[in-house]
Amino acid sequence: MIEKRIDELIRLIDKANYEYYTLDKPTITDQEYDRYMQELEDLEKNHPEFKRDDSPTSRVGGQIIDEFKKVTHEIPMLSLGNVFNEEEIMAFDERIKKVVPNPKYVAELKIDGLSVSLVYKNGKLVRAATRGDGVTGEDITHNARTIKSIPLTINKPIDIEVRGEIYMSKASFNKLNENGENFANPRNAAAGSVRQLDSKIAASRNLDCFIYHLPDPEDYNIYTHYDALRFMKELGFVTNPNNQKINDIKELLAYIEKWTKKRSTLPYEIDGIVIKVNDLSDQQKLGFTARNPKWATAYKFPAEEVLTKVKDIIFTVGRTGQVTPSADLEPVRVMGSVISRATLHNEDYVTSKDIRVGDTVAIKKAGDVIPEVVKVITERRDGTEKKFAMIHKCPICHEELIKKDEEAAYYCPNEHCPAKKQEKLIHYTSRHAMNIEGFGDRIIEDFYNLGYLKDYDDFYTLDKHKEELMKLEGFGYKSINNLLEEIENSKKNSLERLLFALSIRHVGTKTADILARNFKTIDSLMRASFEDISEIKDIGPIIAKSVIDYFKEEKHQRLIQKLKDYGINMTYLKNVNTNETEFTNKTFVLTGSLGRFTRDEAKERIESLGGIVTSSVSKKTDVVIAGTEAGSKLTKAKDLGITIWDEENFINNLSKY
Ligand code: IVH
């Protein structure tokens, strides 16, 4: 009896959800819905033995996971190429027409959220995952289950994967920020909510989801994208009501114009229009480039320009001592973020644009790019504006600034400048350096000012100040312990991370890796001569001199000794085959998708055999490994006459060792 009633209630609630979210045609009132939910909750509480995994009551969250599990996408999750104007849209259409004479399209709104893959087994949601790098994403099932527009059970008991976009409506975003959160835009808020271990947080954030892609349509006798959208809607997914079939380029331009105008009336943010070839066999003929389908593209709305006032021009000091002017602006909203700072790069930039304190300026922000001042609105000047003058003393330590030949930038030469030191400490903890999570700029600044953190070795004695640190505002037992644990873990890092973290001039991640691999330990690197270092492939005399100069200084030698005493690993830990191999000291570029490896796996294998993997093809590249759907990198490699291996070739070479 009870079990039957539970089943019945779940059926009624699921049906109500489908009508409300998918069809946008509710047939029961909110009160009736609430009554069903209440009855279900009560029954489940009193009879937990009958509680079903796919019960809508589980949407309130509560499941907490320990860590995000990695998920491999069987069909890679590709992203889209971009077009920015009418001319590029026409060129896209022309490219399509070379393969498909009379293409029909579907135009869709480009929802500004984060893409998600949803896997259903036997009609039940079993896995939700983020895109990640396209091949490997993160399992976010616990959070996806809290999103009401994602059905827990679909209308047919089939196995299926669908893809779409998780987003946050403008209203939910505003409410969230009014309640004390400080997200820059709805996309960040949605991404931040999905990346939570505790699903209660996602449940409280009111996320939504539109489904727009069926990766494996052949399984369901579907021949067009539009039918795939219809099919997914029938299953209970929410598809966007503004998706539209497009017969020719004229209709496409009209669709774009319409939504460019109506964009602000939508309850969620969009950042462009997606254009997809409708016929699936046409899509197949067109195929893919390395990263994108050739049968689709995204028209991106132009970067928004807004006017605001320059309140002040301030100067910041970076880790190298470079002093950069930035505009302190009257806060304005651009592309969904509130902007109050724009970089002014250097003295030449400011003077060539004649940007003055008090000026009204047009600023622009495109995507995640740092906002830029486009131009000064000189008509708005009233004579009170103050002309820009570059400073000649460090704003922090007041040392006389220097200019390096040929460079537009000024530098603070003071070794002990607190700004430089703090920036270096921030760099030391950063992701590609020692990767010590939990240190924001503010914490480093506070710890520095309190005297706990002056140089890198101080990280490893922070535990001595645990009691005092716990008393600081914003800290507690747990956060300090997490921080200390992260610091402890960083001791085990492989040598290349430390070399990068030390902020040696000209030593970026790639150079750090080459040095670590060649010298294996910091001692042998410190003993090396200028010739030893400069002889290494991809390391020139400038880097060699910089490394030699760094380790020549006694204070650096003392620092290394201290770090050693605290137990920081100083050895290269990646497992590298020391024998000469087909890969030794060769530079590789990976492009396209490999069937048997993820990018990271392939990179690891190459590195373990002594090769170096870089991201762009140049004359210095020795081998390009091209998977399927390889694109411009492969073309470039061919142009440059670089050796090209396909996956089979790669596997053959690997199997020799
Ligand atoms: S289709 C293979 N359709 O935009 C097809 N993507 O810049 C893959 N997006 O990664 C995507 N709205 O996260 C598609 N209607 C839409 C979309 C959409 C938003 C996102 C998606 C994708 C990114 C590409």
**Which tens digit of pLDDT belongs to each residue from 37-54?**
999 999 999 999 999 989
- What is the spatial distance between Cα 105 and Cα 252, in angstroms, rounded to a whole number? 8
Give the tokens for residue 95: 């490219």
Question: In this model, does residue 358 exceed pLDDT 60?
Answer: yes
Query: What is the pLDDT confidence band of residue 280, given thresholds at 50, 70 and 90?
Result: very high
Percent of the chain with pLDDT over 70: 99
pLDDT greater than 60 at residue 352:
yes
Residue 263: which residues within 8 A CB-CB, separation 6 or more? 270, 301
Q: Whose CA is nearest to atom 21 of ligand 1?
A: 115
Summarize pLDDT for 509-526 with one digit per residue, the tens: 889 989 998 999 999 999
Q: Mean pLDDT over residues 561-572, rounded?
A: 96
pLDDT at 449: 93
Q: Is the pLDDT of residue 304 over 90?
A: no
Catalytic residue among 25, 45, 110, 471: 110
The residue whose CA has the least distance to atom 9 of ligand 1 is: 110
- The helix (H) or strand (E) run that includes residue 420 is helix 418-429
Q: Identify which of 349, 314, 350 has the alpha carbon closest to the alpha carbon of residue 329.
A: 314
Nearest atom, ligand 1, residue 131 CA: 10
Q: How many CB atoms lie within 10 A of CB 178?
A: 8
**What is the Cα Rg of the chain in Å?**
28
- Strand, helix or coil for residue 503: coil
Q: What is the mean pLDDT of residues 487-491?
A: 96
Q: Which fold has domain 495-565?
A: DNA polymerase; domain 1 (1.10.150)
pLDDT of amino acid 336:
67
If one counts every other C-beta atom within 10 angstroms of the C-beta of residue 170, the result is: 16
Q: Which atom of ligand 1 is nearest to the CA of 78?
A: 2
Give the residue whose CA is nearest to atom 23 of ligand 1.
Answer: 79
Per-residue pLDDT at 367: 53
Best residue for ligand 1 mutational test, from 75, 105, 115 (most atoms within 8 Å of Cβ): 115
Cα 182 to ligand 1 centroid, rounded to whole Å: 26
Q: By C-alpha distance, which of 451, 443, 447, 562 is closest to 502?
A: 562
Cα–Cα dist 449/468, whole Å: 14
Q: Which one is predicted more confidently, 154 or 599?
A: 154
Q: Of all protein residues, whose CA lies closest to atom 17 belonging to ligand 1?
A: 110
Q: Which amino acid is at 623?
A: V
**In 3-state terms, the chain is what percent helix, strand and coil (to 5)?**
40, 20, 35
The 8-class DSSP code of residue 69 comes to P
Q: Distance from first CA to last CA of the chain, Å, rounded?
A: 65
Closest residue to atom 4 of ligand 1, CA basis: 110
CATH 3.55.50.30 for domain 72-300, yes or no, is no
Q: Which atom of ligand 1 has the smallest separation from the CA of 298? A: 7
CB under 8 Å to 297, separation ≥6 — which residues? Answer: 80, 81, 82, 83, 92, 274, 275
What residues have CB less than 8 Å from 634, skipping those under 6 apart?
290, 591, 592, 624, 626, 644
Q: Is the pLDDT of residue 370 over 80?
A: no
Helix axis angle, 418-429 relative to 441-449, nearest 10°? Answer: 130
pLDDT of residue 510: 82
CA of residue 417 to ligand 1 center, whole Å: 46
Contact (Cβ atoms closer than 8 angstroms) between residue 530 and residue 544: yes
**Average pLDDT taken over every residue of the chain:** 92
- CATH class belonging to 306-403: mainly beta
For ligand 1, atom 11, the nearest C-alpha belongs to 79
**Fold of the domain built from segment(s) 587-655:** Rossmann fold (3.40.50)
Q: What 3 state SS string does 562-597 have?
A: HHHHCCCCCECCCCCCCCCCCCCCCEEEEECECCCC
Which residues sit with their C-beta closer than 6 Å to ligand 1?
78-80, 108, 110-111, 115, 165, 212-213, 274, 293, 296, 298
Q: CA-CA distance, 107 to 99, in Å (whole number)?
A: 20
pLDDT tens by residue, 85-134: 999 999 999 999 999 999 999 999 999 999 999 999 999 999 999 998 88
Which tokens sit at 347?
């003295």
Pocket residue to mutate for ligand 1, from 118, 166, 212, most atoms within 8 A of Cβ: 212
Residues whose CB is less than 8 angstroms from the CB of residue 251 and which lie 6 or more positions away in sequence, other chains included: none
Bridge-based pairing state of the strands 623-626 and 587-591: parallel
Place of tokens 């003077």: 351
The H or E element that residue 327 is part of is strand 322-334
Indicate the DSSP class of residue 207.
E
Q: Is 547 helix (H, G, I), strand (E, B) or coil?
A: helix
Q: Is the pLDDT of residue 429 over 70?
A: yes
163 alpha carbon – ligand 1 mean position (Å): 9
Tokens of 186: 């709805």
Q: How far is CA 455 from CA 138, 424, 506, 562, in A?
A: 36, 9, 20, 11
Q: List every span in the chain annotated with CATH 2.40.50.140.
A: 306-403
CATH 1.10.287.610 intervals, the chain: 2-60
360 in helix, strand or coil?
strand
The tokens of 465 are what? 């100040």
Tens of pLDDT, residue by residue over 232-278, are 999 999 999 999 999 999 999 999 999 999 998 999 999 999 999 99
Whether the per-residue pLDDT at 194 is higher than 70: the answer is yes
CATH 1.10.150.20 domain position(s) in the chain: 418-490, 495-565
How many Å apart are CA 513 and CA 497, to the nearest integer?
A: 8
Residue range 397-407, pLDDT digits in tens: 999 999 887 77
Q: Where in the chain is the domain with CATH 3.30.470.30?
A: 72-300
> Which of the four CATH numbers 3.30.465.10, 3.40.50.960, 4.10.320.10, 1.10.150.20 does domain 418-490 have?
1.10.150.20
pLDDT for 22-36, tens place per residue? 998 899 998 999 999
Give kind and range of the element (H or E) at residue 166.
strand 160-168
pLDDT score at 620: 85
2-60: CATH number: 1.10.287.610
Cα 116 to ligand 1 centroid, rounded to whole Å: 10
Number of H helices, E strands in the chain: 24, 22
Q: Does the structure show a pLDDT above 70 at 652?
A: yes
CA atoms within 13 A on the CB side of 323: 26
Ligand 1, from 84, 194, 226, 274: best to mutate by most atoms within 8 Å of Cβ?
274
Give residue 441's pLDDT. 86
Locate the ligand 1 atom nearest the alpha carbon of residue 82 and give its number.
7
Question: For residue 368, is pLDDT > 60?
Answer: no
**Which residues in 122-133 are b (16+ Cβ under 10 Å) and which e?**
ebbbebbbbbbe
Nearest residue CA, atom 22 of ligand 1? Answer: 79
Atom of ligand 1 nearest to the CA of 292: 2
Place of tokens 């001692």: 523
Question: Residue 578: pLDDT above 80?
Answer: no
Backbone angles phi, psi at 507, to 5 degrees: -100, 95
For residues 515 and 526, what is the distance between their CA atoms, to the nearest angstrom? 11
Cα 79 to ligand 1 centre (Å): 6
Burial of 592 (0-12, 13-18, 19+ CB in 10 A): buried
d(CA 154, CA 122): 9
| Centre of ligand 1 from the C-alpha of residue 115, in Å | 7
Known active-site residue 276: no
pLDDT at 369 over 70: no
Say what the pTM is. Answer: 0.59
The rounded distance, in Å, linking the Cα atoms of 447 and 443 is 6
Please choose, from the candidates 196, 23, 194, the residue with its C-alpha nearest in 3D space to the C-alpha of residue 113. 194
Give span(s): CATH 3.40.50.10190, the chain: 587-655
- State residue 230 phi and psi, 5-degree precision: -65, -45
| Closest to 424 (Cα-Cα) out of 390, 472, 458, 474 | 458
Torsion of CA 251, 257, 259, 265, to 10 degrees: -140
Distance 153 CA to ligand 1 centre (A): 24
The predicted pLDDT at position 303 comes to 77
